């Protein structure tokens, strides 16, 4: 059964800092992994879907990497801004359950001006 863990649960950084969010998964037999952003009181917005063949995927100041052998994915945010403050969730498929996405509990990021 796939389990997804995100540490830390919360992170506070000053504006302008580069930062890394971590995601670990137990079943490495995955073809892709997704990162989402959730603003308070809102739904989830897809940020990046990274395929196992890609190893990295970039969108603007965001870069996600995937290392299946270690069961880890990271989301790198460059030059953080107060508008980046949100909860970031990663999700990996569980092929024992038909490929359904299993979500981590998220990292709540606060970027201070």
Partner 1 sequence: NAGVTQTPKFQVLKTGQSMTLQCAQDMNHEYMSWYRQDPGMGLRLIHYSVGAGITDQGEVPNGYNVSRSTTEDFPLRLLSAAPSQTSVYFCASSYSKHSGANVLTFGAGSRLTVL
Tell me which residues touch partner 1 (CB under 8 A): 30-32, 34, 36, 41-46, 49, 89, 91-95, 98-101, 103-106
Provide the minimum distance between the beta carbon of 59 and partner 1 in the complex, in angstroms, as a whole number: 12
The nearer residue to partner 1, 50 or 77, going by C-beta atoms, is 50
The nearer residue to partner 1, 62 or 91, going by C-beta atoms, is 91
What does the alpha-carbon distance between residue 27 and residue 110 come to, in Å, rounded to a whole number? Answer: 30
What are the C-alpha distances in Å from 39 to residues 33, 36, 85, 87?
20, 10, 8, 6
What does the alpha-carbon distance between residue 105 and residue 109 come to, in Å, rounded to a whole number? Answer: 13
The nearer residue to partner 1, 20 or 31, going by C-beta atoms, is 31
Provide the minimum distance between the beta carbon of 62 and partner 1 in the complex, in angstroms, as a whole number: 15
Region for 2 from its dihedrals, namely left if φ exceeds 0, alpha if ψ lies in -120 to 50, beta otherwise: beta
Provide the minimum distance between the beta carbon of 93 and partner 1 in the complex, in angstroms, as a whole number: 3
């Amino acid at each position: 059964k796939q389990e997804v863990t995100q540490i830390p649960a919360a992170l506070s950084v000053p504006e302008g800092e580069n930062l890394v969010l971590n995601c670990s998964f137990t079943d490495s037999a995955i073809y892709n992994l997704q990162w989402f952003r959730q603003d308070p009181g809102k739904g989830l917005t897809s940020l990046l879907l990274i395929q196992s063949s890609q190893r990295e995927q970039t969108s603007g100041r965001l870069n996600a990497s995937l290392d299946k052998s270690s069961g880890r994915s990271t989301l790198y945010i460059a030059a953080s801004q107060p508008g980046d403050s949100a909860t970031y969730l990663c999700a990996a498929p569980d092929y024992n359950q038909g490929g359904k996405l299993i979500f981590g509990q998220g990292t709540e990021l606060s970027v201070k001006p």
